[in-house]
């Protein structure tokens, strides 16, 4: 990335006129900012959200062309319904929705909630929409994947033997990056020009932290949000950059400040586990078995 992009902001977004972009989890936080800025730049933005009433309320306040469609990533039937209802080309899919360090819960399909919402739901959605996607897929990951000891527990992927809110979150974010890596490999092998990218917001003050397990943790995070975190607008910049800028496949973008906590879009650091092709393929196989969804047999691009 050239130094001319070191202070890249939403004001630098190129015109998105004529492009259709899906943003999941667009009712609040980073997703709302991402949707707002892409619509402002001229894209037709589809807000893929669980609560369509909140989505419609947000969409009314956005400039540009928007549309609200229901999507619950914690329910594969909802994911399939969303994908089956899609017709025509889709330029960009932004897998933004996620949950963080929540008390133990299960999705409609019995998956651990963080793995299901953050990885398995987006895995299924992306593969089902892939025949329509013409440009790129962006998945929002996290610095948390680089914490010491974070790995994919293939013996207890769904945390049925034991559950730790933070360990499950970290695993799901590592899964995001392994998914990006393996999906790019498959697209390249298939001769597709579609590219796949990851981005992380650093430490951004969003409502994601409010669902964290334990009142003590929530208090610490609330204080950190006030003292350390950057704004949602700043936190959304890596996603906006990854969605619109010329980047190599399997790129990873985050803030350029110390520890990648704050700053402007720049190449981000991956853990050794996040670049392990064997783990990426093994996770892909496990995800296919769990969701019943795989890489499409044919692509139109």
Whether 169 is catalytic is: yes
The one catalytic residue in 169, 241, 252, 264 is 169
In DSSP notation, the chain reads --GGGTT--GGGPPP-TT-EEEEESTTSHHHHHHHHHHHHTT-EEEEEES-HHHHHHHHHT-SSEEEEEE--TT-HHHHHHHHHT--S-EEEEEE-----SPPS-B-TTS-BHHHIIIIIHHHHHHHHHTTTEEEEEEEE--GGGGSTT----TTSTT-SS---HHHHHHHHHHHHHHHHHHHHHHHHHTT---EEEEE--SSB--GGGGG-SSHHHHHHHHHHHHHTPBPHHHHTHHHHHHHHS---TTEEEEE-SGGGSSSSEEE----TGGG-HHHHHHHHHHHHHHHS--S-S----
Catalytic positions, written as ranges: 169
């Amino acid at each position: 990335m050239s130094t001319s992009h070191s202070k890249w902001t939403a004001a630098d977004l190129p015109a998105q006129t004529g492009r259709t972009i899906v943003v999941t989890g667009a009712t609040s936080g980073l997703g709302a900012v991402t949707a707002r800025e892409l619509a402002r730049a001229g894209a037709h933005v589809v807000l893929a959200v669980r609560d369509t009433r909140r989505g419609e309320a947000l969409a009314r306040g956005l400039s540009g062309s928007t549309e609200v469609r229901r999507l619950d990533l914690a329910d594969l039937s909802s994911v399939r319904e969303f994908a089956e209802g899609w017709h025509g080309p889709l330029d960009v899919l932004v897998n933004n929705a996620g949950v963080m360090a929540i008390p133990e819960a299960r999705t409609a399909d019995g998956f651990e909630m963080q793995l299901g919402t953050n990885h398995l739901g987006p895995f299924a959605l992306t593969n089902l929409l892939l025949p329509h996607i013409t440009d790129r897929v962006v998945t929002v990951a996290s610095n948390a994947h680089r914490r010491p000891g974070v790995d994919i527990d293939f013996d207890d992927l769904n945390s049925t033997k034991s559950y730790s809110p933070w360990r499950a979150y970290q695993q799901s974010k590592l899964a995001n990056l392994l998914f990006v890596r393996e999906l790019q490999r498959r697209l390249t092998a298939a001769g597709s020009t579609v590219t796949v990218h990851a981005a992380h917001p650093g430490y951004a003050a969003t409502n994601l932290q409010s669902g964290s397990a334990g009142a003590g943790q929530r208090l610490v995070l609330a204080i950190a949000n006030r003292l350390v975190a950057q704004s949602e607008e700043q936190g959304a910049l890596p996603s906006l950059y990854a969605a619109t800028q010329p980047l190599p496949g399997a790129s990873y973008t985050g803030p350029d400040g110390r520890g990648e906590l704050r700053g402007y879009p720049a190449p981000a650091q991956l853990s050794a586990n996040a670049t392990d092709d064997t783990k990426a393929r093994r996770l892909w196989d496990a995800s296919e078995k769990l969701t019943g969804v795989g890489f499409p047999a044919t692509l139109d691009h």
